[in-house]
Structure 1
Amino acid sequence: MIRIIVVHQTRLIASLIASVLTEEEGIYVVGLATSVEEALGKVERSNCNMMLVAATLPNQGALTLTREMVKLDPTVKVMAIGMPDSENMILQYVMAGAAGYVLQDVTTERLLENIWAAHNEKALISPDIAAKLINQLAELARVSSQQALDPLAVEELTPRERDVLNLIGEGMTNQEIAEQLVVEVGTVKTHVHNILKKLDVANREEAAAFLPFLEDEAEDGPETAVSDT
């Protein structure tokens, strides 16, 4: 029996997902939550053994919740739903302890397949994503063989540089990052230069290897675009 808490920032969408899941024999939705705090508060009371967490939770909430659940109760499997097709982001979730993930364009059938696979200690990964993960792990191994990653190095990054590094991890170009943060491309290039220098790496891929060490500082609030001008 699978007992699921559905976590989505929009309660209506969480309810719609729940209504689909409850039609599957053997799956019971035991709670809905719209935030990390609400989800954590329902874990013990609901006796859940799985969480479906929207990757779109604000301030990287899904990653935060995944890490918190690994510490709080590793027997509760966390699956990220609505993931972008980004190898760096998927790797972040895998390294955070996620039991599985589904992409943004997933069908109901595929979602259910992934839920049952995770419940049975398996993971369904498309060949394309598997290849990307292998490539990323190979890159991490290469970087690690050249230098010992220093988790403390990320503490040198400013909040805005952390924002940029997270977006690099999502595979965004400088232009896309500039549009996301509403700043000039030149400003983004400066941030990227500073990130590479502070982390003592040669390129964006090596910088992305530090993402697992990057603590979420979302509670401090994002910087405004004015600070970059």
Structure 2
Amino acid sequence: MPGASTEAEEHTAAPRQTRTGRPAPIRLVILSAVRLVHEGVAGSFDPVTGVRVVEHTEISSEAFPRIGQLRPDAVLVDVTTRKGLQVPRRIQQFCPQAALIAFAVAEVEEEVIACANAGFCGYVSRQCGASDLLQALYDSLDGRLCCPPHISSALFRRLAHHSEPPAPHSSLDCAVLTPRETEIITLADTGQTNKEIARELRISDSTVKNHMHNILQKLMVSRRGEALSRLRSRPIV
């Protein structure tokens, strides 16, 4: 009809902006260990949404430098595999400006907190659809996080726990790890096995085992899980 404008025309004439003033189109990268997943999610965004998918690919070390050159506004990461939780630490050196959003998250306290600890600023649960995914993207770029009350409560409890002053004369405060030991226990906290840590650091499996043995002794624990629990509850100095 004369004088009428379609939604697409309105979008072209006045691009959507986030509260931070970021103009559309939003440049988005999608990462998943499953090709069918990243292709399918990429296909859920059409031009009217104000999102331009500049890359969708498998999670790999080779992809990160290429993604950095694309300068995305946001990176959407499938966290159904261990690789997904490792993405923030590995990709931030290439595109620190990008908002990192986890998708396919099981909406339970442990899973959401694990995403927050990994470095994600937003998440989309496994029960969400395409419209929820789009809204989570907008929210993350605007500095907002929408989540159920039980997740909000869990996040506040975690913040309160970390804000507590350390107990005096804590054995952990007195434990001094070497730079290599700190590097190994940090990688272990991402879920990597001794073999995977050895491969990443280019050292032997036996060397990793020796370092882990020393770490357990210094932290006065007998199991790897106990060491990781203490690492999460209080920084190692």
Q: Which bracket does the TM-score occupy, shorter chain normalised?
A: 0.5 to 0.7
Which structure: greater helix fraction?
A: 1
Q: Which residue of 2 aligns with 1:37?
A: 61
Aligned mates of 2:73, 2:137 — CA distance in 1: 11
Aligned mates of 1:63, 1:31 — CA distance in 2: 19
Summarize the alignment of residues 1-229 of structure 1 with structure 2, pairs less than 5 Å apart: 1=24, 2-22=26-46, 24-57=48-81, 60-142=82-164, 145-146=166-167, 147=170, 152=177, 155=181, 162=188, 166=191, 199-200=219-220, 207-208=228-229, 210-211=231-232
Q: Which residue of 2 aligns with 1:179?
A: none
Contact 1:56 1:82 in 2 (8 A): yes
* 2:33 alignment partner AA: Q
Matched residue of 2:144: which SS? coil
* 2:231 alignment partner AA: F
Aligned mates of 1:91, 1:74 — CA distance in 2: 21
Contact 2:104 2:124 in 1 (8 A): yes
- Residue 32 of structure 1 and its aligned partner are, at CA, apart by 1.1
Unaligned segments of structure 2, at least 5 residues = 1-23, 193-214
- Residue 209 of structure 1 and its aligned partner are, at CA, apart by 5.5
Higher relative contact order (CA 8 A, sep 6+): 1
Aligned mates of 1:9, 1:208 — CA distance in 2: 28
Two-structure CA RMSD over aligned residues (Å): 4.0
Aligned length: 183
Post-superposition CA distance 1:151-210 (Å, at most 9, x none): 849949x99xx58x959xxxxxxxxxxxxxxxxxxxxxxxxxxx9986458xx8995362
Seq. identity, %: 22
Contact 1:82 1:102 in 2 (8 A): yes
Distance 1:24 1:97, change over 3 A: farther
* 2:46 alignment partner AA: T
- Pair member with larger Rg: 2
Post-superposition CA distance 1:18-65 (Å, at most 9, x none): 0112365210111011123243033134231111001123xx322221
Unaligned segments of structure 1, at least 5 residues = 168-194, 215-229
TM-score normalised over the length of structure 1:
0.63
Aligned mates of 2:142, 2:99 — CA distance in 1: 10
Contact 2:29 2:74 in 1 (8 A): yes
Contact 2:32 2:77 in 1 (8 A): yes
* 1:120 alignment partner AA: D
* 1:97 alignment partner AA: G
Post-superposition CA distance 1:61-93 (Å, at most 9, x none): 222211123333221111111112343443333
**31-40 or 90-99, which moves further after superposition?**
90-99
Aligned mates of 1:151, 1:21 — CA distance in 2: 49
Matched residue of 2:156: which SS? helix
